[in-house]
Structure 1
Amino acid sequence: FSVVHSTLVFLGGRLFDGNQLSGKIPSTVGLVQTLEVLRLDRNSLIGPVPSNLNNLTSINELNLAHNQLTGSVPDLTGMDSLNYVDLSNNSFAQSEAPSWFSTIQSLTTLVMEYGTLQGKVPQKLFSFPQLQQIKLRNNALNNTLDMGDSISQQLQLVDLQNNHISSVTLNSAYRNTLILTGNPVCTTGISNTNYCQLQKQTTNPYSTSLANCGTKSCPPDQGLSPQSCECAYPYEGTLYFRAPSFRDLSNISTFHALEMSLWIKLGLTPGSVSLQNSFFNVDDYLQIQLELFPSIGNGKYFNRSEIQRIGFYLSNQTYKPPPEFGPYYFIASPYAFPVELGGTSLSIGVIVGIGTGCGVLILILMGVGIYIFQQKWRAERAIELSKPFASWGPSGEDSGGPPQLKGARWFSYDELKKCTNNFSESNEIGFGGYGKVYRGMLSSGLVVAIKRAQQGSMQGGLEFKTEIELLSRVHHKNLVGLVGFCFEQGEQMLVYEFMPNGTLRDNLSGKSGIPLDWKRRLCIALGSARGLAYLHDLANPPIIHRDVKSTNILLDENLTAKVADFGLSKLVSDSGKGHISTQVKGTLGYLDPEYYMTQQLTEKSDVYSFGIVMLELVTSKQPIEKGKYIVREVQIAMDKNDKEYYGLEEILDPKIRNLQNPIGFVRFVDLALHCVEESAEDRPTMSDVVKGIEGILQQDGVITKSTSASSSAAEFRTTKGKPQHPYDDALPKKDVNNSDAFDYSGGYMLSTRVEPK
């Protein structure tokens, strides 16, 4: 939430049945001041509501019902655009009606049922000019109910049943529904009034025309048509109106308007609509039984085309009811079509004979189909075994030839299965959205990391072929190299070089056991920056990584940094400049806010994410930790008068804080903050970042083999031999058999992907 600006959060209600949210509501939700609707109802949220919720001054609907929220009733003072509030079924601390009950003039509906409210209902609440419903049943409200003399003319319902109200001052100006059942006041003189009676469900007559049919009745499977007073087979179903603007069910003209609307808009004859049993159900929906009758002269039945037409209009909500009924949905009952052939009913013997014949025919067809399927499967299997690349794409889309690879090879499924001991759990070294990662040893003795796609994340054959052709062309000492791939027996696997020292995140957290001093961190930053600069400037076509983070920067046995996991990467078309319009993907905390808001992806989005990684190198903190965003924390703490630690001493990694005057520290922090500027135009390129880190290392006396943009670019090409790490002699050797040393696509489980709808 700290980097997301949205106009709608819709995470509750029936859209999330079976997928309930849990945990606390983050305080950062109060920062999204453009939010208009917040629905988090019917989840398993706990803890107090954030105190800064009333910063959402643009919100018009708030629904936190049916959770396990605790603490004080949230303070909504100042939310002057609020129309609808529902805080029911939570565990707030017992309190009197909050002050905002008397201040939010824009309210139309206030719902806080099964709560802990006590004391008196504020008189001013009933005077809000747009107020239509107040539903406060099953609380502990007490004292005298006085609605005052300025009751809103739009107020239709006040439901206060099952409280502790002892007396009531009645106002003759209010003539709509007031429910006081279950209060002590109903044991006094008003016990016989409608206020203290359960609200009766009103049953409407079939229609005004039906009154002229007398007492005539029909068989159980038929209904009495109001237009002809004859028995016929109606098309039946139930209408559910979710938010009607009225509560009075005795006004017959309201339902006449609905009847007329139905027969006119559905193309039926006048009087062919019957409405029955209208009442408000347990969900507070207006429920009505609907019967539609065939026109006079068309017999007792609708034909199939008429039923399909009417059903489509109602079930797909093409039919629009009168506006006072509001939104609805329709559930139809099966329609009993006549069983006739040539005007004569079929005998039971004929029906049995037809059914038996059809059954035999179906069995024969099933046998033929199974035989054909088996033959087809055998033929395809033979082709697959003789031509392993034949399944890249459907017929006509691809020749079935192998992909054009540079430095990578094809592996059979059996070969990879053998080298991972049948993909055993003991060889599992990581996991992510793509699938699981296994350590394996090839017959040549080479240790590799094998990414095995899970069923839901596999691509089409042509897309997979394109991706591995791309990855095989990307060669740089600071990019994890692709050894090969497998596309066989319904499997998609990528085989990478094994990185024994795991992820940068693991090393910063201390999980790996390898100490990272300041110089090592600078070298890691430089290596990963060079890998990204190669992707942006020298790969053909250029590539935007789109998921730069500390768990995607891996360290080899010499602590050389290599960028990994191009699962979200995008190719830059044409000259590689400009932007790509694309669905927003990435990892929360590293996501470029400008990319999120505009959906325009550029190389500068990678620069922003790399700036976050640089701040991780300084603090060893995760981008979002305990609700705090690393960029904001650094900006707040920074003091330029502090020439040694820049005012960041309190949030630094202790391994750096204990150093005396780390060389280039201030320049490094300035460069990181330059990378995370809000506007992409204000950020440097990755090549500029490379030059900046090189300059810091040169100041410290470390040889980087490049001192300019041109020399840095020259080092992007493939190098021969094994690069010598500046601290090679001092580094402890790590056991490559450690199964916890490598995680290609994991890291801490914050929200892994951001895909707004």
Structure 2
Amino acid sequence: MSLWVKLDLTPGSVSLQNPFFNIDDYLQVQLELFPPTGKYFNRSEVERIGFSLSNQTYKPPHEFGPYYFIASPYTFQAERGETSISSRQVIGIATGCTILVLLLVALAIYAIQQKKLAERAIGLSRPFASWAPSGNDSEGAPQLKGARWFSYDELKKCTGNFSERNEIGSGGYGKVYRGTLANGQVIAIKRAQHGSMQGGQEFKTEIELLSRVHHKNLVGLVGFCFEQGEQVLVYEYMPNGSLRENLSGKTSIYLDWKRRLRVALGSARGLAYLHELANPPIIHRDVKSTNILLDQNLTAKVGDFGLSKLVSDSSKGHVSTQVKGTLGYLDPEYYMTQQLTEKSDVYSFGVVMLELITAKQPIEKGKYVVREMRTAINKNDEEHYGLSNMIDPVIRNMPNLIGFTRFVDVAMQCVEEAAADRPTMSEVVKMLESILQNDGLETNSTSASSSITDFGTAIAASRHPYNKEALQRKEINDTHAFDYSGGYTLPTNVEPK
């Protein structure tokens, strides 16, 4: 600008011409300056122009390389004792100025792109970053109904610095600890480990959903912490662990048939609430025995909402989504179509009902419990439906399995191949209530993590998830990793209820 003023240039005094890449791959542009008066620049004017353009303080970024001002030779003409500059010098001046302008523009574009990439990266790696606009996680934490924010130091204190003696479970997500708050409340603390299978989005999903839904058959979220790079969820403590642990004999709790009926009814009520009373409805997407927990009264509570999906009004009854869940409980129709519905939860719950009968995991030794049960059923056997060899020995020899055949019928309806043939969860609740009521049992009495497996993300699967080939591969790769929204490894001195 100072050069412009000193030479008294006008808009018509500047011309940019002939941009091209030279043999060294530099962008070269000709800049021509014309004197506002007379035909030539004198020597002092040329020297001023050359000095100004050769001594720019602008430093371009490394990606764009250096810039150069190349002055063309100028032949001075005698005029009143003064000399003028040549057209080549003018071209050189133009070249340098143009390169400088282009570099500035390119730098601005680069900076804008980098900012957008950074914002996108934050959104992916820290999906809850919008909760902390100040940059301090704790200060930006939302005030969610029924859930409070905990500082990391507070959780360290109540778990004895996350000591091993307070560890009650571990798995792909991280570890679960028992802790006691200053007010004496016992809590379960699920702390994510770096590189865990559950990412930030699942962490955020579980916080937001559990803070909105409240039901006696859903695990309660006490609070959360995301601070100092930690992802921690704080739940109500479930002293009697998961249904899977109790069925597998890892605890000293005796689950007789009546208690199993009440566990089934309680967890069914929790799922029915999610499907029909939550607004908008929620599909759990990972219903399994390790995600059904038992409190001190053996009341069943559904947990682990990390994979859950909201069903909006525009979803038309289903959500097209990446297939996630746990093999053995995974709805085959959802697996093959990638269309998630409430009936997908119904299928998974049906598998849990079969677990209550057999006490075995859905897939063992290459055999799938749904197929084995369907093949073995003999309705001419009015007592055990032909399933004597499959029934858990703990309950098989009981003198009277109340409503057993009707319970099997409900379970098999839930695991129908076609979603349209399955009942809703509210219908399942009514059928289970009927089984208990018809046999004189009180339906309202107290009764009685997630391992995320990704099965395809881009296109619908053409094969059935439980064909023989898939089951053999599952058996080879099977691991019994700890799963929780809050599963626990229980102490051995738990007394039977």
TM-score of the pair, normalised by structure 2: 0.63
Match among 432, 455, 478 for residue 755 of structure 1: 455
CA contact (8 A) 1:694 1:704 kept: yes
1:533 alignment counterpart: 272
**1:617 pairs with 2:356:** yes
**1:496 pairs with 2:235:** yes
Match among 158, 163, 188 for residue 424 of structure 1: 163
2:446 alignment counterpart: 725
- Following superposition, the deviation at residue 659 of structure 1 comes to 1.7
**Relative contact order: is structure 1 or structure 2 higher (C-alpha 8 Å, sep ≥ 6)?**
2
Seen in structure 2, the aligned counterparts of structure 1 residues 443 and 400 have a Cα distance that, compared at 3 Å, is closer
2:263 alignment counterpart: 524
Match among 319, 322, 326 for residue 587 of structure 1: 326
CA contact (8 A) 1:390 1:399 kept: no
Secondary structure at the aligned position of 1:496 is classed as strand
**1:514 pairs with 2:214:** no
1:117 alignment counterpart: none
CA contact (8 A) 1:404 1:469 kept: no
**1:475 pairs with 2:214:** yes
Q: Which runs of 5+ in 2 are unaligned?
A: 1-22, 26-67, 69-127, 458-497
Alpha-carbon distance in 2 for matches of 1:627, 1:463: 31
Alpha-carbon distance in 2 for matches of 1:556, 1:464: 23
1:573 alignment counterpart: 312
- Following superposition, the deviation at residue 545 of structure 1 comes to 0.4
- Following superposition, the deviation at residue 433 of structure 1 comes to 3.1
- Following superposition, the deviation at residue 726 of structure 1 comes to 5.8
Secondary structure at the aligned position of 2:146 is classed as coil
Count of paired positions: 336
- Following superposition, the deviation at residue 514 of structure 1 comes to 1.0
Which structure: greater strand fraction? 1
1:696 alignment counterpart: 435
Percent identity between matched residues is 77
- Following superposition, the deviation at residue 459 of structure 1 comes to 4.9
- Following superposition, the deviation at residue 395 of structure 1 comes to 7.3
- Following superposition, the deviation at residue 494 of structure 1 comes to 0.8
Deviations 1:130-183 (A, max 9, x none): xxxxxxxxxxxxxxxxxxxxxxxxxxxxxxxxxxxxxxxxxxxxxxxxxxxxxx
Secondary structure at the aligned position of 1:484 is classed as strand
2:381 alignment counterpart: 642
Alpha-carbon distance in 1 for matches of 2:143, 2:159: 26
Superposition misfits of 4+ residues, deviation over 4 angstroms = 393-396, 398-401, 457-460, 462-467
Deviations 1:297-339 (A, max 9, x none): xxxxxx887xxxxxxxxxxxxxxxxxxxxxxxxxxxxxxxxxx
Amino acid at match of 1:725: T
Secondary structure at the aligned position of 2:454 is classed as coil
Q: Which runs of 5+ in 1 are unaligned?
A: 1-302, 306-340, 342-388, 706-723, 728-743, 747-751
Alpha-carbon distance in 1 for matches of 2:435, 2:138: 52
CA contact (8 A) 1:480 1:564 kept: yes
Match among 409, 416, 419 for residue 680 of structure 1: 419
Map 1:54-133 onto structure 2 (within 5 A): none
Amino acid at match of 1:529: A
Alpha-carbon distance in 2 for matches of 1:441, 1:683: 43
- Following superposition, the deviation at residue 683 of structure 1 comes to 0.2
Amino acid at match of 1:615: L
Which structure: greater helix fraction? 2
1:410 alignment counterpart: 149
Amino acid at match of 1:754: D
Alpha-carbon distance in 1 for matches of 2:247, 2:199: 34
Match among 378, 383, 393 for residue 654 of structure 1: 393
Alpha-carbon distance in 2 for matches of 1:654, 1:464: 39
Alpha-carbon distance in 1 for matches of 2:140, 2:423: 43
- Following superposition, the deviation at residue 401 of structure 1 comes to 4.4
**1:438 pairs with 2:177:** yes
Amino acid at match of 1:755: F
CA contact (8 A) 2:268 2:429 kept: yes
Seen in structure 2, the aligned counterparts of structure 1 residues 464 and 628 have a Cα distance that, compared at 3 Å, is closer
TM-score of the pair, normalised by structure 1: 0.42
- Following superposition, the deviation at residue 465 of structure 1 comes to 5.3
Amino acid at match of 1:493: V
Amino acid at match of 1:653: D
CA contact (8 A) 1:542 1:576 kept: no
Seen in structure 2, the aligned counterparts of structure 1 residues 455 and 631 have a Cα distance that, compared at 3 Å, is same
Secondary structure at the aligned position of 2:371 is classed as helix
The CA RMSD over aligned residues, in Å, is: 2.9
Alpha-carbon distance in 1 for matches of 2:447, 2:129: 48
Seen in structure 2, the aligned counterparts of structure 1 residues 463 and 558 have a Cα distance that, compared at 3 Å, is closer
Secondary structure at the aligned position of 2:195 is classed as helix
1:392 alignment counterpart: 131
Amino acid at match of 1:756: G
CA contact (8 A) 2:138 2:226 kept: no
